[in-house]
Amino acid sequence: MNNVQYAFVLRRLATILAVAILSLSLTAAVTGILLSFYYEPTAGGAYNSLREIKSEIPNGWLIQRLHEIAGNGLIGTSLIAIVVMFLGEKFRRSWLTAWISGILLTLVAIALGWTAMLLDWTQLGYWRFTIELGTVEAVPGIGSLLREILTGGGAINTVTVAHLYTLHSYILSIGALILAVIHLGGLLLQEKEEKQTLIESEAKFS
Ligand code: HEM
């Protein structure tokens, strides 16, 4: 494969991945909103409401599973997109817009997965969060402030679930949607600019 074909394949692949990223973000957002109709963001209530969603609400298990697949799929796809974009780097404005938004989106997707850790209020989630909170607290300078924000000041309890739920379902999910749109927009602009360059070079040599 020559260089022109290689660059074309990478550019197209990045655009296709950006479409997948936006679709996964939308799927996660819609299924998240559907989950929120029955989900109860309290200690204990979270576990019981999710059990009810999975076993008693019609198609609840499907919505919960779709949310899980879309959310985790978003992390994987955005990581692959970063590698593809790195290999096909262009350093023009459209590429840079997609590159920066892609990196931020990956970080936001990982943060969405992280904030969901305690949302099911299981033993595994609780103890994993307890250990990771220790790491957060060890961040120099802002560690104790971050702990306060996440837990609400005291132990891991209903306030912590409510704080993580707010970060997850409002702040981070809206951030992910905005970044996914900017990422796709940058790559579509790149496609347009490449097409224009091709037309101009063809006109020059004909
Ligand atoms: C771009 C949007 C979103 C993404 C990428 C996302 C991602 C995730 C991920 C990765 C998980 C963990 C799934 C697992 O491995 O078990 C999760 C769980 C959860 N999310 Fe979201 N989420 C989004 C939006 C929302 C919204 C808008 C809400 C509610 C209004 C929401 C509510 C929940 C709840 C209640 C859980 C816990 C469900 C469980 O553990 O089974 N999410 N989300």
First to last CA, the chain: 25
**Alpha-carbon distance 5 to 22, whole Å?**
26
Specify the pLDDT at position 201: 86
Q: Is 78 in the pocket of ligand 1 (CB under 6 A)?
A: no
Structure tokens of 76? Answer: 């994987």
Q: Is 197 in the pocket of ligand 1 (CB under 6 A)?
A: no
71-119: per-residue pLDDT in tens? 999 999 999 999 999 998 888 899 999 999 999 999 999 999 999 999 9
Q: What homologous superfamily is domain 3-205 in, according to CATH? A: Cytochrome Bc1 Complex; Chain C (1.20.810.10)
Nearest CA residue ID for atom 37, ligand 1 = 119
**Alpha-carbon distance 112 to 167, whole Å?**
8
Q: Is 173 in the pocket of ligand 1 (CB under 6 A)?
A: yes
CB within 8 A of 1, min separation 6: which ones? 9
**Alpha-carbon distance 26 to 180, whole Å?**
9
Which residue is it, tokens 């063809």?
Answer: 202
Q: What is the pTM of this model?
A: 0.93
CB atoms within 10 A of CB 105: 29
Amino acid identity for residue 152 in this structure: G
Structure tokens of 66? Answer: 């779709």
Best mutation site among 78, 168, 181 for ligand 1 pocket (most ligand atoms within 8 Å of CB): 168
H helices, E strands: number in the chain: 8, 0
- Residue 35 CA, ligand 1 centroid: distance in Å: 8
Structure tokens of 51? Answer: 């059990």
- Of 149, 115, 158, 118, nearest to 28 by C-alpha is 115
| Local confidence pLDDT in tens for the 206 residues of the chain | 677 788 899 999 999 999 999 999 999 999 999 999 999 999 999 999 999 999 999 999 999 999 999 999 999 999 999 999 999 888 889 999 999 999 999 999 999 999 999 999 999 999 999 999 999 999 999 999 999 999 988 899 999 999 999 999 999 999 999 999 999 999 999 999 988 988 988 888 87
Structure tokens of 127? Answer: 């103890």
Query: Could you say which DSSP state residue 116 is in?
Result: G
- Residue 50 CA, ligand 1 centroid: distance in Å: 12
